Amino acid sequence: MTAIDARWFADKGTAASWTHALLVQPGLEDAEVAAEVEDWGTCLLACLLTVERLAFCEMVLDGRAASPREIELLLALDGEPTPATRGLRELHRLRAEAGPHVGRACAEAALTCLATADAHVRSRIPIDVLPMRTPEGFYPSLRVAATLEHLRKAVGLGPFQWDWWANLS
Amino acid sequence: MKALVCTDGIRAALKPVGLGPEEVIEVLGSCLEGDEVHLVGSLAAGLGNTGSDVDLHVFVDEDVAGVVPMLFFAGRTRLDVVHYRTGAPAAALAGVPVRSTGLFGGRCALGAVPSMTDMKRLSRWATALAMYEGTRPILDEDETARVSAALVRLALDVAVRAAALATVMTARNAPLAGLAWSRAAETAVEVLVRAQGEIFVGDKWLAAKARRGGLSPEVLAEARRVGSAAEHARFTARLGLPIAEPATLVRVRRNEAPEFTFGDSTFQLAGDHLIPRFELPSESLGEALGTLGADALSEALVHHAAELVPDPAAVDGRLS
């Protein structure tokens, strides 16, 4: 068993969990569904936008987050390379080389970048992030959210501003 | 009381997710009470796919407690319902500019547009489909034209801002500056597709909107290849978008924040961070870069101690 800094978890861990649930998960679905319907151009762009959100999630966990909005986020990503920022560089290369008709191979490479960045970010969040936007995950994720609120109160933090995050998605 | 009949439009729009309006009504029950029910979002705009959410806006006469989405499921499809007061569209329209000018065969508003949140909402209302026969559209034809012009302007403002921030990233040799320029070029393409009538706001749909608008795929490929200020300038010039020298189309503003002085050092609290107090010589991005330096300016922008906003008069000047 490894002890977790409760205050960090209540603050940054909560924010990262909500970021994943409200910003990353919809992006993961967008990329997967676009691949299912073989809309490779949309898939490639959805992968990029979602890896950007994962980069934001990394910044949240590191206490460096400012804004998840794309332009400010790219401006903020200037530190040491991370799995998410490496993914962004790889996606930039894939996009530049994609040509007018984005193909399956390019989109699949983009999906691999996305999966790698997502696995890394998930591994840094101390709890399993539930698939909030699914019938089976919705209510359990609300219970987790309630527990996080109790934890925040216990360590002296105010309620989490989840509605601000919800309106970003 | 007469029975409500679902429109053909809503039946067609829900097909990608394999639902009929009756199934949606059965799941949502009393949440849909009232005649003013509209499908909004990607499905209503004809862009959705099998994974799309069914987004519904219900207009009611009584007060509503903010904009609180309610989530339901029909099978694995998400149904998102939001209630608005009947007067909400008129209130949102009040801030939309009336004047516009021609751009790419469409109209582009002159002057500042409302916030991104309000404009996104207006984009959903301008592309909404009524659930029931006989329901008035949320926006009439003239209002839709006005909102469309404002959405083109919003895209233009975003394109200007994206290029200006890429300029800051280039000034500090940021590792992702190339990506920022390519995204700035894609936002320029968004201006074009919106002017051609694809007014739904949603970053991920750019390729689909471009395809539907008959834009050559080569244009998007070229945007993705853009990786520097010079390439961006050539690309936007070829496109015919008047945003050369983007740094001259924005203003830098310092945001007020609580200050803390420790001995000789004064900091301002920006979000969760303390950053050294700074003064801007003017609202010019060029001067701010020259005086503060790219690193300090980036720090201020990232932490919202300063912000970069399109200059409405300068952008209007380019449009005319």
Give the pLDDT score at B67: 67
Beta carbons within 10 angstroms of residue B83's beta carbon: 23
Within 255-274 of B, beta carbons closer than 8 Å to A belong to 271-273
**A109-124 pLDDT tens trace:** 999 999 999 999 999 9
**B71-111 pLDDT tens trace:** 999 999 999 999 999 999 999 999 999 999 999 999 999 99
- Are residues B13 and B42 in contact, defined by beta-carbon separation less than 8 angstroms? no
Within 38-77 of B, beta carbons closer than 8 Å to A belong to 49-52, 66-69, 71, 73, 75-76
Phi-psi region of B94 (alpha: psi -120 to 50; beta: other; left: phi over 0): alpha
Binding-site residues on chain A for chain B (CB distance < 8 A): 29-30, 32-34, 36-37, 39, 41-42, 44-46, 49, 63, 66-67, 70-72, 74-78, 81, 85, 88-89, 91-92, 95-96, 98-102, 133-135, 138, 163, 166-167
Average pLDDT of the segment spanning B288-316: 95
User: Residue B182's pLDDT band (boundaries 50, 70, 90)?
Assistant: very high
Give the pLDDT score at A165: 63
Rounded to whole angstroms, the Cα distance separating B289 from B153 reads 26
**B19-50 pLDDT tens trace:** 999 999 999 988 888 769 999 999 999 999 99
- Are residues B79 and B53 in contact, defined by beta-carbon separation less than 8 angstroms? yes
3-state secondary structure of A63: coil
Give the pLDDT score at B74: 95
**B111-125 pLDDT tens trace:** 999 999 999 999 999
Q: Catalogue all structural domains in chain A, each as residue range(s) with its CATH number.
A: 6-166 (1.20.120)
User: Residue B250's pLDDT band (boundaries 50, 70, 90)?
Assistant: very high
- Are residues B73 and B98 in contact, defined by beta-carbon separation less than 8 angstroms? no
Chain A residues in contact with B220 (beta carbon < 8 A): 41, 100
Within 125-164 of B, beta carbons closer than 8 Å to A belong to 161-162
- Are residues A43 and A111 in contact, defined by beta-carbon separation less than 8 angstroms? yes
Chain B residues in contact with A42 (beta carbon < 8 A): 204-205, 207-208
Chain B residues in contact with A78 (beta carbon < 8 A): 172, 174-176, 298
User: Residue B176's pLDDT band (boundaries 50, 70, 90)?
Assistant: very high
The minimal CB distance from A75 to the residues B182, B220, B301 is found for: B301
Rounded to whole angstroms, the Cα distance separating B108 from B192 reads 10
Chain B residues in contact with A72 (beta carbon < 8 A): 165, 301-302
**A137-157 pLDDT tens trace:** 998 988 998 999 999 999 999
Give the pLDDT score at A64: 83
Give the pLDDT score at A70: 86
The pTM for the full model equals 0.94
Give the pLDDT score at B35: 67
pLDDT at residue A169 above 60?
no
Q: How far is B6 from chain A (nearest CA, A)?
A: 26
**B204-225 pLDDT tens trace:** 999 999 999 999 999 999 999 9
- Maximum mean pLDDT: which of A1-5, A32-36, B63-67: A32-36
User: Residue A2's pLDDT band (boundaries 50, 70, 90)?
Assistant: confident
Within 181-200 of B, beta carbons closer than 8 Å to A belong to 182-183
Q: Is B293 on the interface with A (CB under 8 A)?
A: no
Chain B residues in contact with A71 (beta carbon < 8 A): 161-162, 165, 180, 183
> B8-18 b/e with 16+ CB inside 10 Å = b?
ebbeebbebbe
Rounded to whole angstroms, the Cα distance separating B198 from B210 reads 8
**A75-107 pLDDT tens trace:** 999 777 999 999 999 999 999 999 999 999 999
B50·A37 Cβ contact <8 A: yes
Q: How far is A3 from chain B (nearest CA, A)?
A: 25
Q: How far is A1 from chain B (nearest CA, A)?
A: 31
**A52-78 pLDDT tens trace:** 999 999 999 998 866 788 888 999 997
Q: What is the overall mean pLDDT for chain B?
A: 94
Chain B residues in contact with A34 (beta carbon < 8 A): 49, 204
The minimal CB distance from A95 to the residues B169, B174, B182 is found for: B182
pLDDT at residue B146 above 90?
yes
Q: Mutation test of the interface with chain B: which of A92, A132, A162, choosing the one with the most B Cβ atoms within 10 A?
A: A92
Give the pLDDT score at B30: 86
User: Residue A166's pLDDT band (boundaries 50, 70, 90)?
Assistant: low
> What is the percentage of chain B residues whose pLDDT exceeds 70?
98
Chain A residues in contact with B79 (beta carbon < 8 A): none
Average pLDDT of the segment spanning B121-145: 96
Q: Mutation test of the interface with chain A: which of B176, B181, B297, choosing the one with the most A Cβ atoms within 10 A?
A: B176
A95·B175 Cβ contact <8 A: no
User: Residue B200's pLDDT band (boundaries 50, 70, 90)?
Assistant: very high
Give the pLDDT score at A168: 58
- Are residues B164 and B233 in contact, defined by beta-carbon separation less than 8 angstroms? no
Higher pLDDT, A128 or B264: B264
Chain A residues in contact with B272 (beta carbon < 8 A): 63
Rounded to whole angstroms, the Cα distance separating B148 from B154 reads 10
pLDDT at residue A163 above 60?
yes
